[in-house]
Amino acid sequence: MPPETNRTADTSPWVIAPTEERNPDTLDIDLVGTLDMLRMISDEDAKVPAAVRAVLPALAVAVDLATDALKGGHQVHYFGAGTSGRVAVMDAAELIPTYNIDPLWVVAHQAGGPEAVRRSVENVEDHEANGAAEGGELRAGDVAVGLTASGRTPYVMGALAAARAAGARTVLISAHPGATFGSEVDVHVAVATGPEAVAGSTRMKAGTAQKMLLNAFSTALMVRMGRTYSNLMVALDPRNAKLRGRVVRILAEATGLDARVCADAAERAGGDCRIALVSLLADVPVGTAKQALEEAAGGVREALAIAGLERD
């Protein structure tokens, strides 16, 4: 029997994890007034950022693994159940319009499938074999990121074990620093959020920490993949008037040029913000800017160096 579980008389698993413990600071949460109740919850939430910051060195290793994977033509896969899976699905979905990436770069797997995203599906997190089947589809060179507050969810453990057997690198993001499975992965990002305001309600601090960590992970990954210039979102897909206006604003902020000049450049570049940006900053035709970006695999700073050499 793994140390993270015990058994009750009816043989149901009794999870032993920090998030399952009773919080001594919220014992009277059902007795106090509403404002004091909210203050208790807020006090617990306030502990999350420091806990997240403490595990950034491990998260940095995970980002570098994922960057190497994507640059090598491989994929990043998220695996989670319940709140963890929904956080994963949301993060992966939002990367597509935000950074205009191939949907196959980052793929999210929710225990129970799409139906479980909208509504809780009972027992799917216990299906280790289902996780193993999905994780086994990864290839050598891919990266599998498993999210589980307890550090022991069978679906996630099955996915990570199968992914590693297939040659993928593996990352576990948990709220259980002592999780046994942490030694079975390449990187364990173990954020110590402690007991929840309501014992076992891991949609609270643990879920908040997972969202912060995954947002930071994927944002850093997109920066490493050249989807930004400075802190500007230059790889967006301008499908509507709002986004077309954002392209002009980004170009104006990045170059210091008049909005009309930037709008003209964007039009010549067919709406592609990065082509227009390289054209303006390097003072080269859009054709040269496009070629430089292709040679630089989409990275603006690298493309600027290439375009500058070609111009000279």
Residues 6+ apart with CB under 8 A from 69: 75, 76, 141, 142, 143, 169
Cβ density class 213-236: b for 16+ within 10 Å, e for less = bbebbbbbbbbbbbbbbeebbbbb
Query: What values do phi and psi take at 241, rounded to 5?
Result: -60, -40
Residues acting as catalytic residues: 94, 125
Rg (CA), the chain: 23
Q: How far is residue 297 CA from its own chain's centroid?
A: 22
With beta carbons less than 8 A apart as the criterion, state whether 81 and 111 touch.
Answer: yes
Q: Is the dihedral of CA 158, 160, 163, 165 positive or negative?
A: negative
Write the burial class of residue 111 (CB in 10 Å: 0-12 exposed, 13-18 middle, 19+ buried). Answer: buried
- Tokens of residue 230, six digits: 């400075």
Express the helix, strand and coil content of the chain in percent, nearest 5 each.
55, 10, 35
Q: Classify strands 13-15 and 5-7 as parallel, antiparallel or unpaired.
A: antiparallel
Residue with tokens 């060195």: 57
**Rounded Cα distance, 59 and 62, in Å:** 5
